[in-house]
Chain A
């Protein structure tokens, strides 16, 4: 048993951390998000060219660093600490995940483009009616000669305004919620019939409603097996969940440490408010939540390669992280008092991100239900 990081992994962490410390402090982030293009292509370029981290989980033959889920975890935790909005998760973890696991013919080229920073992916899976059910799809891809015609509306697609490629889940057979009949497609942004409605999210990201209207796709747009793409989607989403949990650990750490720091400085009744036992215990509970979250993130990340345990582990971790995001986030604001309510302090921005992570890829309820089913079977 060994929970230590390799020298390469530690170096990767240091590289990302020191770049973000120099280039991505809170004020720079806020200034960049407030004006067009509302994200930082220069940072993305640096991730590709200066840091080389966009190749972290890809093999050396593909031009990557030869890592995997642990490397994603290391990077995502650091991105979480700085509230980075640039699309590592949708591009490297999710786009890269689909390309790696599907045996897709054009994968090597596309991954090369990810590593080089030219290809940016957005994952168009959620639908207005579908909540967190990955199989609840009204988007359809109908067979048309050798290819397909895609129609549908995808909701809140993170990173879509500047993505070059969409990974789209669509129904090719079966009923609206059937596990069978789900297929995955690669759609280029410029394809005729693709339109977006772009907006910022409450935690500073960009997202879109994405509409597909009679989009003509070649046979080579299909990623993974026709009609039986759901297991692939679940695998990649489990990887995305583990990576999001890692991001949350970075966010939670900042919330917890920032609160301890603030209460030591803030004086009321002639003493630092950190001297009040009721606040000490609250901060201890925040700390316990953080530590439990780190443990579950390690667990889920390690089990990503174990197909029998993977989904259960991912859901278990997401339940822990969802609860921790709520408790730690809310208490961080409470213990900062009025200052926690202001836009000028970073703490509120970490709270907003934590709130969004709590329901990303499924709420606590969703993952509790999934865990129950996987662990205990169907309810009586």
Chain B
């Protein structure tokens, strides 16, 4: 057991740092600093730089464009990109859909979809949750009926409603879970379909979240015609794909590197803010105790994640233990948001815009939007399987209860 990095690993870290320094898109940096909603093109700028370099898909198998990095290199990569505040690569195509395609798809499907995902040429969105199917995803009702059309080809006719579709307003394509056998048990009658979002009958409707943002959407499907060859894996066995995808969703969710960076931000804010006594807030006995506790929590999470990574490199896939990462990771993210809001005192209250709609904040610049981030951050213990569901998974799968 040891924690040292090898000289090769240290050299790799330097290489990553230099690459980010020299290649991170300046216009994207500016947009991030201004804290405004990014355009579709801006979201993909960094992705495209990395695709060109060959570094966009560290999680993929090497033969499909993966980097072939060791777990330690992947860890260094996520740490350095977070430290440099690089925009996270959108997960929908890259880390949610692609593993399903390269695990369960046909060669034709791999050829057709993986290159566009890799290059960031197609924006994917997820059609899983429904108004009546959240934690109980298998109860989903969106229906797909198989027909033979006048052109002699087979299609699914899809009807239903999906919800919480993140950034669906930009999506070119979506991956959907649909019910193809209404008479089977809930988990056995589901299929996994890829749907072109420009198909007639699809309507994407904005959901405004409580902090005022537009991140998620409802997706309505009204007699949407989908070629049968857009189904991944066997009919009625889409749940197998969905389960695999959810495990992938859980491992990335710990967000250790990003929380470390946000912890640094919090420390900076608390060094600038004054306590009631007039000293720096970080010198305040109550506040520093909370920051220290959070740092310790984060260290525990980091080493739990490292142990999981080490397990993966010795051939174990992400097991049900990854639910620990989701629970603790999101709790820590939320705590960071809460303490940042607490740190700025009165200046947590102003809303981003003034009454004339200008974007200039009041109070210190770092206070802008902190309340919104705290409000919005409540989603993390709800999405990707709520933290209650994650505890059920551990109880059942790990403790055998």
Contacts and interface: CB of A to CB of B under 8 A. Distances in A.
B362 A197 contact: yes
Given A131-B276, A202-B211, A348-B375, A197 B386 contact: no
Nearest to B348: A359
Contact of A200 (B211, B353, B376, B388): B353
Contacts of A176: 278
Given A131-B276, A359-B348, A363-B342, A334 B209 contact: no
Nearest to A326: B338
Contacts, number: 153
Contacts of B345: 131-132, 359, 363
Contact of A333 (B135, B208, B276, B378): B378
B209 A131 contact: no
Interface string A170-191: 0000001100000000000000
A305 interface: no
A342 B375 contact: no
Interface residue tally on B, bucketed by range:
35 or more
A29 B343 CA distance: 30
B136 A155 contact: no
Interface string B131-155: 0111110010000000000000000
Contact of B276 (A128, A342, A356, A366): A366
B357 to A, nearest CB: 10
B207 interface: yes
A83 B363 CA distance: 25
Interface string A326-351: 10001001100110111110001101
B261 to A, nearest CB: 24
Contacts of B135: 268-269, 273, 337
B381 interface: yes
Contact of B349 (A38, A128, A207, A333): A207
A202 B375 contact: yes
Given A129-B274, A131-B345, A197-B354, A342 B386 contact: no
B363 A342 contact: no
B355 A198 contact: yes
Contact of B382 (A202, A326, A334, A352): A334
A267 interface: yes
B208 A343 contact: yes
Interface in A295-349: 326, 330, 333-334, 337-338, 340-344, 348-349
Contact of B208 (A205, A278, A344, A366): A344
B186 to A, nearest CB: 9
A201 interface: yes
Contact of B210 (A200, A279, A342, A368): A342
A177 B278 CA distance: 8
B362 A131 contact: no
Given A198-B354, A341-B210, A365-B286, A126 B163 contact: no
A324 to B, nearest CB: 15
A239 interface: no
Contacts of B376: 341
A34 to B, nearest CB: 11
Contacts of B281: 131
A259 interface: no
Nearest to A177: B278
B51 to A, nearest CB: 32
A337 B134 contact: yes
Among B132, B208, B346, the most chain A Cβ lie within 10 Å of the Cβ of B346
A349 B350 contact: no
A89 to B, nearest CB: 14
A341 B139 contact: no
Nearest to B207: A342
Contacts of A203: 349
A133 interface: yes
A244 interface: no
A209 interface: yes
Interface string B319-347: 00000000000000000001001100111
Contacts of A197: 354, 362
Contacts of B182: none
B190 interface: no
Nearest to A330: B378
Contact of B378 (A155, A273, A334, A356): A334
B372 interface: yes
Contact of B139 (A132, A269, A366): A269
Contacts of B207: 342, 344
A201 B382 CA distance: 26
A199 B350 contact: yes
A365 B388 contact: no
B347 A131 contact: no
B275 interface: yes
A23 interface: no
A330 B381 CA distance: 10
B251 interface: no
A368 B289 CA distance: 14
A199 B355 contact: yes
A352 B211 CA distance: 9
Nearest to A36: B355
Contacts of A147: none
B263 interface: no
A126 B349 contact: no
A355 interface: yes
Interface string B354-391: 11000000110000000110111011011100111001
Interface in B192-238: 207-212, 216
B170 interface: no
Nearest to B372: A202
A351 B351 contact: no
A368 B286 contact: yes
Contacts of B341: 355
A207 B374 contact: no
A202 B349 contact: yes
B276 to A, nearest CB: 4
A341 B378 CA distance: 8
Given A207-B350, A363-B342, 17 more contacts: A130-B274, A133-B276, A133-B278, A197-B362, A199-B355, A202-B371, A269-B136, A276-B388, A333-B378, A334-B381, A338-B129, A341-B379, A342-B209, A343-B208, A348-B375, A355-B374, A356-B348
11 contacts: A131-B281, A199-B350, A202-B349, A207-B349, A330-B378, A338-B382, A355-B341, A359-B342, A363-B342, A365-B286, A368-B286
The 4 closest A-B pairs by CB, nearest first: A348-B210, A268-B136, A343-B208, A365-B286
Interface of A: 36, 38, 126, 128-133, 136, 155-156, 161, 176-177, 197-203, 205-207, 209, 267-270, 273, 276, 278-279, 326, 330, 333-334, 337-338, 340-344, 348-349, 351-352, 355-356, 359, 363, 365-366, 368-369
